[in-house]
Structure 1
Amino acid sequence: MMFLRSGMFLLLSLILVICAVVWSGLDLRNLLHRLIEAPHWLLLCFIVLTGIQITISAIKWRIVVNQLTPETSPPGFSFFLTCSSASALLSQLLTTYVSSVVVRGWAGRRFHGIPITRGAGSSVFEQLFDVVVLMCIAIGTLITWIVGGGALTWVLFVTLFVVLGMLASTRLNHIIPVLRQLHPKLSGHEALLDDCGIARICSGPTVSALYGLSVLRYLVMLARAPLIVIALGYSISSLDAAQGFTIVQTTQLAAFTPGNLGLQEWGWSGVLAFLGYGFEKPLEFALALRVMGLTSMIIVTPLLMAPVFSARKAMA
């Protein structure tokens, strides 16, 4: 049923993209020409950044799992990296957050006996910091646009809200008792009754590490937008591309299409049109990001997963 629903949403997302292309009058041959003529070393940098993004997610998940299961022998880092790579690739067919929960929950139970609730719950917890950081950066961007500030103003506002987000995250341990009171099922949920585990994952050092890694992860992701602008020679300000990313990425929070396909393209077109770039070139830029994002996933994920499969083959 899940994959049937995903198939329907995939069809809807393709329709959204086709409608955008037809409505804008975009000639896809221009996009193909730009990709072929782009400096290969810049495209390679994009691929490397994708690998770094996945690796950071794996590090975050490992931190949470190790804190929740201190009594068991922790899996090797290659396990976390493989699962994070697989979920990143699967996110092209499912939504990002669903793919992570599905892959990590199943793999933790299948290969290391980690209860599904802990495997999936740990994934949700580490991604919570991504959401907080994203919202802080997006708010900083919106305020910068409202006051008409430049790059320095943007950096100052983003830094301010990221710091405030960090301070708010240190209060997570006070939210758990509130969650227990929201619904009878929550009050008896295994994950919310594990006071020792909650204390460990909500401790200052753990929260600081997870939050800091989320900030680093979004800086890596953010850098890819201006990188494509430079590599493909778009007449779009790198600052506008970076700021636009912070707004467009928030659509991921409510995404119902696989990989946010369609919504992301319309989002980029709308944001950059609002900034005065029209509709056609922003759409082409958004599709270039899509093509390079998918290509980098296809190239990087097998490389990151290779150590685990090599080890299993050697043991067979």
Structure 2
Amino acid sequence: MNKKTKTWLKHFVFLIFGILIFGMFIYFLNDEHLEKLKYVNYSAAIAALVASFGITLSISLRWGLIVNTLAGDRVASWREYYHYFIQSRALGFILPNNLTDVGVRMFWLKKRHQTNLTNAGVSVALDRVFDLIFLFGYTLAVLPYWFGFVGIELVGLLVLIVFAVMGGVLILKQTLFFSIFRRMMLWALKILSIIPFLKKKAPTQFDFPDFPRPIIVKLFFISAFKVLFTITRFVIYIYVFSIAISPYMIIAGTPVAQLSYAFSFTPGGLGILEAGWLGILKLGSVPLQQALLFIIGQRILTIVLVSTLAVLSQLLFSVKHLKNTTHEKNL
């Protein structure tokens, strides 16, 4: 068995593992709560679709800005950046995360725009780094609640305060901001290196290109909007299925769940993301059945919403490509 076959077999095993974990959660959800998945608040579902578009658009704009800055010129249109990203995200539900998130985006940049593979890879890595920056900040913001220092109603305010402070330090003291973040990353990598199954997934080194301050500020605010859209979508999910969970609990639990997704080894974080959510919701004293309803509902709805956006993007992209081809033939 060659190396390529072993790699795909490993990913297949991870997919089955994720399906089994998710299936176990469905098994423990009682019939009464399982029935609630049939009754969808469509107004809330549409709002979740808008939030999903906000998330994917934010990531696409951030990634496109990084690619353009590294290249010193505009490489692709914003519509193309969005299309490449949403397709990679949709494929990520069934294929390995690294293959889809990194491979698909690099493939499109190389094939359609002859982008240097090194710059293409660095652009995706930097895109992920900005997610990590905000995950660190977000996690710090909710820790006072989880340690019992403040009430849950203050969580949202703490998140806004931490993001505002991060933005202020970045704008006024860019060097200090990245120096602090590098120290935090080194501390985190030391912890991750202790855990065997995370050691290989953790980056061994990192650095930031010397981007102009206006570009860094734009990347910061785009990333902030991405986080806010992510929080909003998770909160909307509880209204889609009429789940009895406080929105403040969702705000407090989101960074932990996102961290479990960031370091998951199953396609789309299947089973791992849900386990992270279940653990944090139970820690927050959410009843088991309500927690199970949320984690199952969010997975199903996320797949539907992202797939919908991917199909719409493909249709628009195909129409645009057909028009361009027809126009070129007529010349």
TM-score, normalisation: structure 1: 0.84
Which of the numbers 226, 231, 240 marks the counterpart of 2:240? 231
* Residue 207, structure 1, aligned to residue 216, structure 2: yes
Superimposed CA distance per residue, residues 281-301 of structure 1 (whole angstroms, 9 cap, x where no aligned partner): 201210000000001011111
CA spacing shift, 1:173–1:154, aligned 2, 3 Å? closer
* Residue 11, structure 1, aligned to residue 16, structure 2: yes
Superposed displacement of residue 153, structure 1: 3.1
* Residue 220, structure 1, aligned to residue 221, structure 2: no
Determine the C-alpha separation between the residues in 2 that align with 1:219 and 1:232. Answer: 21
Match of 1:291 in 2: 300
3-state SS in 1 of match to 2:286? coil
Which of the numbers 263, 267, 270 marks the counterpart of 1:254? 263
Alignment of 1:107-256 (within 5 A): 107-151=108-152, 153-166=154-167, 167=169, 170-171=174-175, 198-199=209-210, 202-256=211-265
Determine the C-alpha separation between the residues in 2 that align with 1:82 and 1:306. Answer: 10
- More displaced 10-residue stretch of structure 1: 245-254 or 212-221: 245-254
* Residue 42, structure 1, aligned to residue 63, structure 2: no
CA spacing shift, 1:63–1:91, aligned 2, 3 Å? same
Determine the C-alpha separation between the residues in 1 that align with 2:239 and 2:53. Answer: 20
* Residue 78, structure 1, aligned to residue 79, structure 2: yes
Determine the C-alpha separation between the residues in 2 that align with 1:19 and 1:7. Answer: 18
Superimposed CA distance per residue, residues 102-134 of structure 1 (whole angstroms, 9 cap, x where no aligned partner): 111111000000011111211111221111102
CA spacing shift, 1:97–1:214, aligned 2, 3 Å? farther
CA spacing shift, 1:28–1:84, aligned 2, 3 Å? farther
**CA RMSD of superposed structures (Å):** 2.7
Structure 2: which amino acid aligns with 1:79? Answer: E
5+ residue gaps, structure 2, are: 184-205, 327-331
- More displaced 10-residue stretch of structure 1: 278-287 or 162-171: 162-171
Determine the C-alpha separation between the residues in 2 that align with 1:127 and 1:86. Answer: 17
1:78–1:307 CA contact under 8 A, matched in 2 = no
Determine the C-alpha separation between the residues in 1 that align with 2:267 and 2:158. Answer: 32
- Percent identical pairs in the alignment equals 18
Structure 2: which amino acid aligns with 1:44? Answer: I
* Residue 281, structure 1, aligned to residue 290, structure 2: yes
3-state SS in 2 of match to 1:198? coil
- More displaced 10-residue stretch of structure 1: 104-113 or 304-313: 304-313
CA spacing shift, 1:239–1:98, aligned 2, 3 Å? farther
For this pair of structures, how many residues does the alignment match?
293
Superposed displacement of residue 56, structure 1: 1.1
Superposed displacement of residue 252, structure 1: 1.7
Structure 2: which amino acid aligns with 1:42? Answer: A
Structure 1: which amino acid aligns with 2:17? Answer: L
1:173–1:198 CA contact under 8 A, matched in 2 = no
3-state SS in 1 of match to 2:131? helix
1:105–1:117 CA contact under 8 A, matched in 2 = no
CA spacing shift, 1:28–1:113, aligned 2, 3 Å? farther
Superimposed CA distance per residue, residues 113-168 of structure 1 (whole angstroms, 9 cap, x where no aligned partner): 00111112111112211111022112211222213423553234323433454436
2:135–2:259 CA contact under 8 A, matched in 1 = yes
2:243–2:294 CA contact under 8 A, matched in 1 = yes
Structure 2: which amino acid aligns with 1:30? Answer: H
